[in-house]
């Protein structure tokens, strides 16, 4: 380490060196922390996909978690920040298929065994790239405990979980409508859909009433599914259809007789108030069919083609071609009342962005009624608290409308369903639901599991509250009989400067590694923390990062000045303790800075306890720049230069040193590199091996 601070702070010359120094100390590992640390504090990283690279959301969340871990480490806790990656079944399989396509190969051509072997080869080469990128940010993760959701031990946990639910009768296999992605060629859960606004048409179709020269008019956005209609439904409160209830209609183009029924699920305000019921291709229609014992007729298959159950003229046609022909045929028969322009939300696959169709498929499901109640109880009782509290509504809304979870996927990469006749793999989220305890060794009764579970804080994004957070909560209660964490912090979403979502494909994404290269990791971290003021979204620009860079320079220059004032060049200095400082008879301005320092320390603790990272960062900035630099340092110049008493000079120097070191401790969780570099160069006797383990 350097023995003297250079004239200017150069993060590019400091950060890699300091990170390597931290790794050599071993202090990221809680087992190697010095002193008797009896209290655990654990955070498990939300596991990034092995296909991923660091983006601004990762950088923000890693900064939040590292602030918490470094803060608690300084408070004397035995801290564990546990890293790991997710196998990301659909995303990884899609990535490898793209790689194969470039070489003129296919998944099917390789066969399952060789395809999975290729993924393992890819994972060994590229799977940890994103974890290495976290190091550039200064993340103090215990790399010795890195986990992967396809590790042998983790796979054992997944298998045990499946068999546990299966034996309880909570996992079952059944053919029922599911969400199907034609491109990924697999089922998806409701939570794996992204809804996008799409301009379309609303077709008003005449259904002839049997035995009468009258029609009932039905509005639909999907004429192609009418070939699978098994009823027409109206709301029982809709008086205009009262005389038609119980009658039948002749399904156009198919000439099948279907009944007119009533159901409270029907929205009177949509279209004409009468809707077609197609149980095979609509989730709500399926629920209606269960009540009224309607048949389920599958007219669209897994390739997006019309099936053998459709009339001969439409069999084998794509969805779009079938729609076009059906509308033409209805027009020729005079059965189109009118067509209106219509915009509605259309489901897309969250991985590939392609259209999703609802169709019947034989899948594995996990019953959710009892698990949902378990998850709800833990949050309603405040045993688990959401920060900000408003996100509890998202959590409860989903639980109150929950359906059984389709947990099987028709891909090859992942945990195979542990039933002999099944070639399916389990939904990635099924395995990641076990993350807080499977990473600590469960189902084995390890020391880590006993000491660090429950973990303390989960910091994550709002878009996976139901995909992941909810599932971890009921999994923790079911298998550990304890909540998986005490607090859930939902961090804001970082948007582009113009308010659009950050996306590489849209050209709105910002690479945090480029910000680190340009301004330094500390400036990037401090600028991001500054933005955390409780809002739901952050419109990002580089202004706060530039401010962070200037602040780092201020810390550096202020330290250089203090050292010039107090360094006697003869022997190492000694930092006074808080008790020693309290006994000194000090000048008014020296008493004042110590009061403000004490108040600042308490406030920073309070802000971090309540996840107010922006307030903590802004308070530290104001204290160091204005109270310490503008007031304390400036006035100390006069006292040191004009005081004739060596004793008085030494008092002033002690206050300067004490305030500087305490400031470095307070700032360290936010700007770890520069504070550690300064600490290592301070010519003082009673410092520890590194600032990271100071008191």
pLDDT digits (tens, 9 = 90+) for 350-372: 878 888 999 999 999 999 999 99
Burial 449-484 (b: 16+ CB within 10 A, else e): beebbbbbbbbbbbebbbbbbbbbbbbbbbbbeebb
- Reported confidence tier of residue 373, pLDDT bands at 50, 70, 90: very high
pLDDT at residue number 575: 76
Separation CA 671–CA 663 (nearest Å): 11
Query: How many other β-carbons are positioned within 10 Å of the β-carbon of residue 246?
Result: 9
Can you tell me whether residue 437 is helix, strand or coil? helix
pLDDT tens readout for residues 614-672: 999 999 999 999 999 988 888 887 777 777 777 788 888 888 889 999 999 999 999 99
* Rounded percentage of the chain residues whose pLDDT exceeds 70: 98
What is the SS3 assignment for 86? strand
> Looking at domain 190-349, which CATH architecture does it have?
Alpha-Beta Complex (3.90)
pLDDT at 421: 83
Q: Please tell me the distance from the alpha carbon of residue 485 to that of residue 436, in angstroms, as a whole number.
A: 8
- Which pair of structure tokens corresponds to residue 405? 């979870």
350: left (phi over 0), alpha (psi -120 to 50) or beta: alpha
pLDDT digits (tens, 9 = 90+) for 127-156: 999 999 999 999 999 999 999 999 999 999
Same fold, 190-349 and 521-693: no
Each residue's pLDDT tens digit, 335-352: 999 999 999 888 898 878
Q: What value does the CA radius of gyration of the chain take, rounded to a whole number of Å? A: 32
Residue 111 sits at φ, ψ, to 5 deg, of 85, 160
How many C-beta atoms lie closer than 10 Å to residue 508's C-beta?
Answer: 16
Percent of the chain whose predicted confidence (pLDDT) is above 90: 78
Whether domain 521-693 has CATH 3.30.420.40: the reply is no
Cα separations (Å) of 42 from 77, 254, 419, 470? 10, 62, 35, 19
pLDDT at res. 580:
82
Q: How far is CA 389 from CA 40, 396, 457, in A?
A: 25, 12, 14
Distance CA 263, CA 478 (A): 36
Fold for 33-164+383-491, please state it: Rossmann fold (3.40.50)
**Domain ranges, ordered by start, for the chain:** 33-164+383-491, 190-349, 521-693
Global pTM value: 0.91
pLDDT of residue 504: 67
Task: Report whether 541 contacts 494 (CB < 8 A).
Answer: no
Contact assessment for residue 686 and residue 661, using Cβ atoms and an 8 Å cutoff = no
pLDDT at 190: 82
In this model, does residue 573 exceed pLDDT 90?
Answer: no
Query: For 494-511, what is each residue's pLDDT tens digit?
Result: 998 888 887 766 677 789
SS3 per-residue string spanning 16-37: HHHHHHHHHHCCCCHHHCCCCC
> How many Å separate Cα 688 from the centre of its chain?
36
Of the CA atoms within 13 Å of residue 611, those in its CB half-sphere come to: 21
pLDDT of residue 123: 94
Chain center to CA of 12 = 30
């Amino acid at each position: 380490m350097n023995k003297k601070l250079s004239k200017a702070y150069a993060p590019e010359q400091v950060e890699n060196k300091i990170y390597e120094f931290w790794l050599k100390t071993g202090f990221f590992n809680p087992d190697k922390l010095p002193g008797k640390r009896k209290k655990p504090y654990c955070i498990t990283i939300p596991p990034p996909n092995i296909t991923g690279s660091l983006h601004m959301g990762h950088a923000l969340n890693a900064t939040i978690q590292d602030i918490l871990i470094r803060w608690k480490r300084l408070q004397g806790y035995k801290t564990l920040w546990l890293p790991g990656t997710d196998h990301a079944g659909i995303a990884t399989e899609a990535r490898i298929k793209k790689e194969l396509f470039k070489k003129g190969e296919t998944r099917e051509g390789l066969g399952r065994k060789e395809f999975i072997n290729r993924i393992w080869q890819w994972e060994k080469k590229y799977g940890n790239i994103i974890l290495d990128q976290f190091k550039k940010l200064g993340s103090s993760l215990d790399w010795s405990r890195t986990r992967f959701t396809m590790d042998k031990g983790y796979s054992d946990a997944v298998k045990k979980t499946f068999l546990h639910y299966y034996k309880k009768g909570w996992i079952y296999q059944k053919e029922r409508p599911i969400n199907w992605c034609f491109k990924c060629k697999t089922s998806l859960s409701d939570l794996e859909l992204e809804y996008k606004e799409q301009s379309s048409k609303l077709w008003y179709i005449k259904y002839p009433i049997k035995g009468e020269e009258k029609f009932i008019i039905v509005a639909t956005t999907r004429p192609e599914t009418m070939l699978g209609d098994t009823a027409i439904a109206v709301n029982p409160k809709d008086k205009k259809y009262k005389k038609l209830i119980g009658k039948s209609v002749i399904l156009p183009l198919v000439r099948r007789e279907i009944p007119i029924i009533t159901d409270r699920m029907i929205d009177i305000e949509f279209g004409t108030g009468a809707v077609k019921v197609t149980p095979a291709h609509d989730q709500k229609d399926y629920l209606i069919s269960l009540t009224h014992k309607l048949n389920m007729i599958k007219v669209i298959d897994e390739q997006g083609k019309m099936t053998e159950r459709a009339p001969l003229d439409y069999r084998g046609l794509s969805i779009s071609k079938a729609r076009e022909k059906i509308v033409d045929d209805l027009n020729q028969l005079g059965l189109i009342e009118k067509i209106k322009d219509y915009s509605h939300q259309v489901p897309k696959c969250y991985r590939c962005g392609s259209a999703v169709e609802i169709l019947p498929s034989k899948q594995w499901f996990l019953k959710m009624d009892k698990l949902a109640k378990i998850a709800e109880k833990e949050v309603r009782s405040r045993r688990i608290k959401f920060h900000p509290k408003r996100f509890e509504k998202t959590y409860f809304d989903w639980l109150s409308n929950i359906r059984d979870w389709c947990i099987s996927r028709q891909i090859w990469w992942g945990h195979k369903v542990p039933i002999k006749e099944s070639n399916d793999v389990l939904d990635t989220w099924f395995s990641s639901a076990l993350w807080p305890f499977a990473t600590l060794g469960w189902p084995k009764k390890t020391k880590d599991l006993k000491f660090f579970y429950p973990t303390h804080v989960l910091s994550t994004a709002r878009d996976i509250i139901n995909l992941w957070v909810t599932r971890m909560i009921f999994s923790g209660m079911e298998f550990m009989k304890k909540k998986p964490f005490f607090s859930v912090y939902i961090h804001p979403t970082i948007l582009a400067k113009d308010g659009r979502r950050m996306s590489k494909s849209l050209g709105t994404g910002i690479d945090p590694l480029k910000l680190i290269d340009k301004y330094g990791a500390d400036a990037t971290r401090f600028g991001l923390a500054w933005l955390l003021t409780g809002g739901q979204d952050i419109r990002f620009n580089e202004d706060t990062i530039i401010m962070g860079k200037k602040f780092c320079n201020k810390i550096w220059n202020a330290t250089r000045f203090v050292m010039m004032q107090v360094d006697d060049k003869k022997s190492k200095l000694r930092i006074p303790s808080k008790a020693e400082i309290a006994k000194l008879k000090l000048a008014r301005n020296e008493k004042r800075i110590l009061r403000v320092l004490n108040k600042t320390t308490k406030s920073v603790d309070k802000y971090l306890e309540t996840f107010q990272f922006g307030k903590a960062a802004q308070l530290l900035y104001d204290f160091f720049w204005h109270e310490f630099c503008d007031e304390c340092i400036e006035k100390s110049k006069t006292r040191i230069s004009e005081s004739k008493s060596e004793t008085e000079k030494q008092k002033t120097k002690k206050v300067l040193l004490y305030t500087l070191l305490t400031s470095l401790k307070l700032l360290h969780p936010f700007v770890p590199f520069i504070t550690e570099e300064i600490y290592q160069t301070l010519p003082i006797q009673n410092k520890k091996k590194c600032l990271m383990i100071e008191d």
